[in-house]
Amino acid sequence: MRRDIFQAIADPTRRAIIALIALQAMTPNAIAENFNTTRQAVSKHLRILTECELIKQEHRGREIYYSLEIDKMKEIDKWLDQYRKIWEDRFNQLDQVLSTIKKNKK
**What are the backbone angles phi and psi of residue 88, rounded to the nearest 5°?**
-60, -40
Determine the pLDDT at residue 104.
86
For residue 37, give every residue at least 6 positions away whose Cβ sits within 8 Å of its Cβ, in sequence order, or none: 13
86 alpha-carbon distance from chain centroid: 21
**Neighbouring C-alpha atoms within 13 Å toward the C-beta of 7:** 6
List, for residues 53-105, the tens digit of each pLDDT value.
Answer: 999 999 999 999 999 999 888 888 888 898 988 999 899 999 999 998 888 88
pTM for the whole thing?
A: 0.76
